[in-house]
Amino acid sequence: MSNKQFDVVVIGGGPGGYIAAIRAAQLGFNTACIDDWKNGKGGPAPGGTCTNVGCIPSKALLQSSEHFEHAGHHFADHGISLSNLSMDVAKMLGRKDTVVKQNNDGILYLFKKNKVTFFHGRGSFVKAGGAGYEIKVSGANEEAIEARHVIVATGSNARALPGAPFDEENVLSNDGALRIPEVPKKLGVIGSGVIGLEMGSVWRRLGADVTVLEALPAFLGAVDEQIAKEAQKVFTKQGLKIQLGVKISEVKNGKKGVSVSYTDAKGEAQTLDVDKLIVSIGRVPNTTGLNPDAVGLKLDERGAIVVDDECRTNLPNVWAVGDVVRGPMLAHKAEEEGVAVAERIAGQHGHVNFNTIPWVIYTSPEIAWVGQTEQQLKAAGRAYKAGTFPFMANGRARALGDTTGMVKFLADAKTDEILGVHIIGPYASELIAESVVAMEFKASAEDIARICHAHPSLSEATKEAALAVDKRTLNF
Ligand code: FAD
């Protein structure tokens, strides 16, 4: 076994880990990143859940399926007629794999460019001692490396339903949901969170009869209620069958498909028979194979690594970021934490503002928000003003043929500081960026209302919603 010494070793090459490694190298540290993800040929595939079975492939499939839906339902409005429209699922999946590989290769290139040493294998703690920590890398070869600082970014795994393990044939996690070889006639989705809705949307657009079963009584409970209600209305109209307040009693995985027994919101026993079942009921922090006990790294009752506000663990010079720690399981949150930790190691003031992390659901219409919801403000007893502006009254949205949804502003009743912005509608994922910047700079609704926005653009709906806070919309 060779012994290599590094200033910083990052365990995990997802968005938290690979970005932390690049930033550490930029800051002059001799840095290594260890990642165990394998591509179809057993080779390295850095990028973690996000790149391989998360953000990137899901958006590739959402794009393909949206094109298909547009071609089938909306092209005719533009005078474009098509006959014999069909979907080659294998080709769609192949394109998605190409997009994933481009991202994997891009990260390997970035490692080279920034002189990050990449190890393909599993990293585990061996012991603390000397100038830092000894870490074993188990890959094609076994190596021992030493690190002055360790950043753990080992991510998360899909949570299975008790008694219904993932076989990725019929009972699918996000992994299997992204590679169903042909459009299932009937698809069940347990859990109406971001992942369930995005995956359900892909296969519904391609023709599957999709039923979503959700345990909670409210749809999209974390989303502003007004926006969530609008979303439920639109998704139902699109054909998603959403059932809330259900209690799953049994999942039987047979050769021909899956049978789900549950009680509905009225307490009546029901059965749902489907060809495939996606289970998206949350994710669990992943420390498999990390061997945290060897060094006494503290985990909480959920298995997440315990960290303070600055991502410090209970051990000196051991940090943890991303899905494996508290906070929202989002790629950009993981990245921000990775950058901040590298900067803190360098003695700088790393910065992550949890109040301005944007959230996006890439359904159609997209849903995006930043800051607080109206129900949170009410619960906190905060005096606020609200303003909404519908895309129906936006010229660009009309030209796009996509007028669903609205922009909603929430601002402090006295100071007018923006407290939350909520969007359901076309390109909400892009539109929310303006509000994130505004909130980061503690802008008021009036600040946005006074900024010149291009015409015709969807962003005018943001300006109008800011005007609506003061009841002075111009176009509605
Ligand atoms: P991960 O991306 O999980 O990466 C961890 C890496 O560490 C993996 O490669 C893992 O194999 C490796 N690893 C684990 N243990 C070891 C070890 N001991 N040694 C070596 N390597 C190890 N978030 C968004 O912000 N936007 C989205 O649109 C979005 N879409 C999503 C869609 C789906 C279907 C899913 C499942 C998730 C989505 N997410 C999205 C969430 C996002 O993927 C995660 O928040 C993000 O990947 C977390 O990054 P991470 O670096 O903490 O961990």
Query: For residue range 343-362, what is the model confidence (pLDDT) as tens digits?
Result: 999 999 999 999 999 999 99
Helix residue ranges per DSSP H, 88-224: 89-113, 174-177, 194-205
User: Which pLDDT score, from 0 to 100, does residue 1 have?
Assistant: 41
Q: Which atom of ligand 1 is nearest to the CA of 49?
A: 2
291 CA distance to ligand 1 middle (Å): 19
pLDDT tens figures, 39-93: 999 999 999 999 999 999 999 999 999 999 999 999 999 999 999 999 999 999 9
Q: Are 49 and 26 in contact (CB under 8 A)?
A: no
The full length of the chain comes to 476
Q: Are 470 and 449 in contact (CB under 8 A)?
A: yes
Cα–Cα distance measured from residue 197 to residue 358, given in angstroms and rounded to the nearest whole number? 18
Q: What does the block give as tokens for 179?
A: 């590679």
Identify the CA nearest to 429 among candidates 366, 372, 370, 373: 366
The verdict on the CB of residue 120 being under 6 Å from ligand 1 is no
Q: What is the mean pLDDT of residues 106-130?
A: 96
Q: Kindly list the catalytic residues.
A: 455
Count of CB atoms situated within 10 Å of the CB of 294: 16
Q: Is 103 in the pocket of ligand 1 (CB under 6 A)?
A: no
- Does ligand 1 lie within 6 Å of residue 56's CB atom? no
190 conformational bin, left if phi > 0, alpha if psi -120 to 50, beta if neither: beta
The DSSP 8-state label assigned to residue 73 in this structure reads I
Contact, 164 vs 253, CB < 8 A?
Answer: yes
333 alpha carbon – ligand 1 mean position (Å): 11
Write down the pLDDT at residue 255: 83
Q: Is the CB of 122 under 6 A from ligand 1?
A: yes
Three-class SS state of 198: helix
Residue nearest to atom 32 of ligand 1 (CA): 54
Contact 184 CB / ligand 1 (< 6 Å): no
d(CA 382, CA 443): 18
Q: What is the pLDDT of residue 467?
A: 98
Ligand 1 contact, 154 CB (< 6 A): yes
The answer to whether 277 and 170 are in contact (CB under 8 A) is yes
Atom number in ligand 1 closest to CA 18: 51
Bridge partner residues of 252 (DSSP): 259
Mutate to test the pocket of ligand 1, among 135, 150, 154 (most ligand atoms within 8 A of CB): 154
User: Using a 6 Å cutoff on CB, does residue 368 contact ligand 1?
Assistant: no
CA distance 47 to 119: 13
Give me the mean pLDDT over the 412-427 stretch: 98
What pLDDT was estimated at residue 39? 96
Share of the chain above pLDDT 70, in %: 99
Q: Which residue's CA is minimally distant from atom 36 of ligand 1?
A: 54
Q: Which atom of ligand 1 lies closest to the CA of 17?
A: 51
In this structure, the residue with its CA closest to atom 11 of ligand 1 is 37
Q: Which numbered atom of ligand 1 lies nearest the CA of 122?
A: 19
Give yes or no for a contact between 419 and 358, defined as CB atoms under 8 angstroms apart.
Answer: no
34 in contact with ligand 1, CB cutoff 6 A: yes
Q: Which of 361, 302, 308, 358 shows the shortest CA–CA distance to 335? A: 358
| Cα 298 to Cα 35: distance, rounded to the nearest angstrom | 22
**Distance from the CA of 230 to the center of ligand 1, in angstroms?**
30
Average pLDDT over residues 86-103: 98
Beta carbons of 468 and 460 less than 8 angstroms apart: no
Q: Residue 306 and residue 334: Cα distance in Å, rounded?
A: 15
Q: Assess whether the C-beta atom of 465 lies below 6 angstroms from ligand 1.
A: no
Strand order in the sheet with 171-172: 171-172, 276-279, 186-190, 209-213, 241-243
Q: Ligand 1: which residue has its CA nearest to atom 41?
A: 330
Q: Residue 131's pLDDT is what?
A: 81
Question: What is the sign of the dihedral through the CA atoms of 380, 381, 382 and 385?
Answer: positive
**Residue 14 CB less than 6 A away from ligand 1:** yes
What secondary structure letter does DSSP report for 116?
Answer: P
pLDDT at 3: 61
CB 164 within 8 A of CB 158: no
Q: How far is the CA of 293 from the centre of ligand 1 (A)?
A: 23
* Average of per-residue pLDDT values in the chain: 97
- Centre of ligand 1 from the C-alpha of residue 177, in Å: 16
| Alpha carbon distance 163, 250 (integer Å) | 8
Q: Which atom of ligand 1 is nearest to the CA of 34?
A: 20
> Which tokens is 130 given?
């000397």
Please give the distance, rounded to the nearest whole angstrom, from the Cα atom of residue 45 to the centre of ligand 1.
12
Alpha-carbon gap, residue 303 to 316, rounded angstroms: 20
For 207-265, the pLDDT digits (tens) are: 999 999 999 999 999 999 999 999 999 999 999 999 999 999 999 999 889 999 999 99
Distance 444 CA to ligand 1 centre (A): 35
Element (H, E) at 372: none
Burial class (CB within 10 angstroms; exposed 0-12, middle 13-18, buried 19+) of 107: buried
Q: Is the CB of 16 under 6 A from ligand 1?
A: yes
Ligand 1 center to 93 CA (angstroms): 20
Q: In what order do the strands lie in the sheet with 247-253?
A: 247-253, 258-263, 269-274
- The predicted complex's ipTM stands at 0.99
Q: Is 275 in the pocket of ligand 1 (CB under 6 A)?
A: no
Pick the closest to residue 407 from 395, 394, 392, 389 (CA basis).
389
Ligand 1 centroid to Cα of residue 12, in Å, is: 9
Q: Which of 276, 101, 284 is nearest to 202 (CA)?
A: 276
Mean pLDDT of 317-334: 98
- Give the integer Cα–Cα distance in Å for 421 and 406: 11
What distance separates the 2 farthest-apart alpha carbons in the chain?
Answer: 72
Residue 407: both structure tokens together: 């922009």
Instruction: State yes or no: pLDDT of 2 exceeds 60.
Output: no
